[in-house]
Amino acid sequence: MTYSYIAKIAMFTLGAILFLPATAPIPSGLEPIKLGMPVDCVLGKDCFIQNYVDMEPGEEAKDFTCGPLAYNNHQGTDFRLRNRAALKRPFSALATASGKVVQVINNRPDHDFEEGAYHALDCGNAVMIDHGGGWVSQYCHLAEDSISVRKGERVKAGQPIGDIGSSGGTSYPHLHYAIRARNATIDPFIGVSPTGCEAEAAGSLWDASIDMFYAESAVLGFGVTQDFPGIEAVKTGNLPENTDDAYAPFYIWAHLMGVKKGDTLRFTAFAPEDKIIASERFEIVEDKTIFIANIGVEPADVSLGHWPAGDYEGRFAFYRGGEEIGKRSVAFTLPAKPIQPASEKIKE
């Protein structure tokens, strides 16, 4: 039979900041600063912003658009990688502006995101840079012994300072980046301290030369496997080995960020000659930062004893308010050779 599986994950993420005090009123007469990209990655392709500064001073958490990509008292911006396997590259944290390194922690162990191996408020291996004029930036969760700068060293904008790792209070691979003005937390997207998500913006701190944007949703991963893609496999990127077993089911899966109540997901599987052999629609019933879903289909679903040789395709579409906001497809061949997810075609 055709079967489906949905996993909803409550992400456990960094809360407070290790080095600096909590939010304070932004001082007047502050000279502006322009910030470069904090991570050596392409936003929307191999990295994504999962959490923004919490702009609501109370217990309710909202990002600067009044959207859900924040959690209570979050004082930075989280640039996440697709999955844990991406750490093998590695991805470097970059100084967002020139300045002087004023603090370095480089000896905290990487815990490989093992539950219970870290404290939620721990920044882990980190660098702090004083940019002058009251501006200070902070970079958390760097890999053990990866930091390439020293306390007292002058750095330039765009200079690599360390690699993203799994140190400190993190359960997924990301850089927690924070910018402050004289100890006041500042949201770099609107240039003000948290006073409410409808607060008047002062202007973005991001330099116009970089492609920085807000995305409330993203497809973090998508693929087809012939073994069940469990939650841990999707999160780690260590997916089951594909086979060319003509008798086995196959699974189409999607790893999503920022789903909202009322969103719909559609999975469709095509056999040779574009014959539809499975089609499943899911409706999201509550907002979730991270959401994993898949469908599985086996030969018996279409009254077959095994899959006929030929070209197959798995498709996925993500809808909000009746409009398509994300789409993926992957072609593969059975049973002549293993599934080939490298042929994935992407349309945002």
* b/e per residue 333-348 (b: at least 16 CB within 10 A): bbbeeebebeeeeeee
Cα–Cα nearest to 126, from 13, 236, 20: 20
- Tens-level pLDDT at each residue, the chain (348 residues): 444 444 433 322 333 334 344 444 455 677 889 999 999 999 999 999 999 999 999 889 999 999 989 999 999 999 999 999 999 999 999 999 999 999 999 999 999 998 777 777 799 999 999 999 999 999 999 999 999 999 999 999 999 999 999 999 999 999 999 999 998 999 999 999 999 999 889 999 999 999 999 999 999 999 999 888 888 889 888 887 777 788 899 999 999 999 999 999 999 999 999 999 999 999 999 999 999 999 999 999 999 999 999 999 999 999 999 999 999 999 988 876 556 554 444 343
Among residues 254, 276, 252, 274, the alpha carbon closest in space to that of 325 is found at 254
SS3 of residue 125 by DSSP: strand
Tell me the torsion sign for CA atoms 130, 211, 345, 216.
Answer: positive
Residues 6+ apart with CB under 8 A from 244: 334, 335, 336, 337, 338
| Largest CA-CA distance found in the chain, in angstroms, rounded | 75
Structure tokens belonging to residue 311: 């070209």
Task: Using alpha carbons only, give the angle 233, 344, 338 rounded to the nearest 5 degrees.
Answer: 65
Residue 127 structure tokens:
């660098």
pLDDT for the residue numbered 26: 52
Helix and strand element counts for the chain (H, E) = 1, 19
Res 17: pLDDT? 37
Assigned token pair, 329: 């497809």
pLDDT reported for residue 245: 83
What is the model's pLDDT at position 174? 97
Q: Helix H segments across 61-182? A: none
- In sequence order, what are the residues at sequence separation of 6 or more whose Cβ sits closer than 8 angstroms to the Cβ of residue 88? none
Instruction: Report the C-alpha gap between 111 and 98 in whole angstroms.
Output: 31
Which residue from 53, 55, 50, 24 is spatially nearest to 197, judged by alpha carbons?
A: 55
Residue 121 and residue 118: Cα distance in Å, rounded?
9
Which of 76, 89, 84, 85 shows the shortest CA–CA distance to 126?
Answer: 76
Q: What Å distances lie between residue 173 and 10, 81, 89, 333, CA to CA? A: 15, 6, 12, 33
pLDDT at 221: 93
> Which DSSP letter does residue 232 get?
H
Amino acid letter for position 272: P
DSSP-assigned states of every residue in 12-72:
----S-SSS-S--PPPTTPPP--B--SBSS-BTTTEEEEE-----SSSS---TTS-S---T
The C-alpha atoms of residue 331 and residue 160 are separated, in whole angstroms, by 38
102-107 long-range Cβ contacts below 8 angstroms, 24+ apart: 102/128, 102/129, 102/130, 102/136, 102/151, 103/19, 103/127, 103/128, 103/151, 104/128, 104/147, 104/149, 104/150, 104/151, 105/147, 106/142, 106/144, 106/145, 106/146, 106/147, 106/162, 107/144, 107/145
Query: Which conformational region is residue 73 in: left (phi greater than 0), alpha (psi within -120 to 50 degrees), or beta?
Result: left
Write the CB contacts of 245 (distance below 8 Å, at least 6 apart in sequence).
226, 335
**Single pTM value for the model:** 0.86
Give the pLDDT score at 238.
86
Domains of the chain, start order? 13-215 (2.70.70.10), 217-347 (2.60.40.2550)
- Could you tell me if 226 and 250 are in contact, meaning their C-beta atoms sit under 8 angstroms apart? yes
For position 211, what pLDDT does the model report?
A: 93
* Cα–Cα dist 21/157, whole Å: 25
- Whole-number Å distance between alpha carbons of 69 and 3: 31
